[in-house]
Structure 1
């Protein structure tokens, strides 16, 4: 912590010193799939967060022409070792001189002037700081969903992206899939009439942290993993940071269970809500806005978690009856209109009028990562810009706030406020004070 405190106070991520291009050992020009790229055209990536999702994003980036990957950061030394091994193997296969630097603290990676872009796949509570500091260091950002852990962090990140003229793509990759794009197009065009309700199945909200304490392994800096969190009851357990303990260098155990606890995540509400509420908002034309009232399941007989838009459209979180014959409990979305219905999930789309979705291709024509890379070059907004991630994350957080308070919560999407509801405004998922020495830039409560 002392080392990290000094770095944060001294640099403040402004006027960062450069390690320069000397750290790269690639050829002055190189090719991908037979297409040559000059040094001025290449895009140089660094990665922050090297777990399962970070590795998945590395593979996505490595398939984009004109990309070089030169550095990675993680508080887990074993994951740093794996990343360096995989990246140098990829570089050798491409015919480049292998070199990949790794760091325990991301400030050192952001110091590098040769890095244009960072891909961030940390636990949610680190998203805001890592992404804001990257913007301040003039890096474009590919940021895994959900955008941030809290509402205030999302608002601050929007400000940081725009103040620093950065391109940020939220890793809600369903936006790039053609079945979801077709669903959005049909709903917006009125193909199933005026939308009266939407059913969305995403899963349970988070629960209190209840894992037993286990000694921290020597290869992991768990204090740095905790970062800004002020959760005295949270301690290390291997399920929180799945270890690598096999020759294949793959994690053993469940996929990052920190997502399922209130102190460290937003449950399936934030995890899958970041996907399916995202598509719901897009189809309803509500990107950048959102519902005005959130009613938790069980309140005064309310069967399902319910969200109400100002125009009267109602969204409920529920298992969707008769959703799909081969997978009836699948996480997905059903739009119900005055002229029919439309159901969509990954690799699946169905409509009351089959002709509307006949022969709809599945998956992305242009990958979500490639869309981001294209927008780095064009300096245009990607398919999932920061404002989209912000409004979707606010929707997820407000559902959890209403659930934990056990009563309805009203929200004004225009002013980003609860009105006179002080209890909701003081909830940790709106804002919490970081532990020292961390502070949230671009935020003034």
Structure 2
């Protein structure tokens, strides 16, 4: 029998299964306490608003349009709503700067396709969002470490390292607010430093803002795209591509995200989508528009209130139970806490024991490192962390860590 895998392009070798998606299967085991999946709590979804929106769309004058092909840019009223939201957070634009994607993950895939030739360099933080690495990997880049807090890499050093593989530095990708996986937020000075570096290198910035609305404490910091627009004289003169999503606030199942970017970038993204899936589902875009118009602000507050309490409970449990030598981030928002174990410990090995013995799941930190490093780190998600998860799961995990500490 012929093995068709022999015909695969070289990029197929860089496509790996998501450790997180595999861990989500554990959620089907009722005795597993999972801090693994970075997924929203479905009990917070605005179910009634969605039911009413689907009824209104399919029962109204737009029923035919909802079931018909759509322009590749996306449903215009939704793009107008998003443009107003962008203006509210300091990014003046109009609907021509907005492009609707099938979730923000599709946006990352398209951006990798547009920017990366084999051997080109993407600058990413260490650690960084696993889904971004998966999206970019298909286009065979090399990765270099982006250090917003400062480091010894100069623009010339980045250029030299990129040229040694026959490519160029193309963009810096980062999650500046409550990052997945670390939970950390860049300061204003760090955001300005990223802009400075991008200007010196002549590269784009991909600002992944999936968690930006989920702030529970601390003062807000302007988006990089807003700072860039001020520097450059407007969004169309800037270099920042802002990726947003409705998944964390409204619901992920409809797969509606967006990109806010200079118009020339939007034009290329439209061509990419035409060659891919033509457009995001019309009915989902129209329904999301209805729900966003009616409930977005209230939904943000509802979600913040719930996750704020769960973050606090998780941090308190870690403080009370974790052994000496273990540290963790204390995020001002988002969905994640990043735990660092003592040197010499391996979170991948720990996970196997944790699932088998403690019946607690988490994501090993090495999955979020482009070089496979960070073996002594792990990510905990608190969005589904109910009282049992905190009062039973964290003590079990802490006890396992205590017993696994290097002698």
Does TM-score exceed 0.5, indicating one fold?
no
Structure showing the higher helix proportion among its residues? 2
| TM score, norm. by length of structure 2 | 0.26
| TM score, norm. by length of structure 1 | 0.24
- Indicate the structure whose relative CO is greater, using CA pairs within 8 Å and at least 6 residues apart: 2
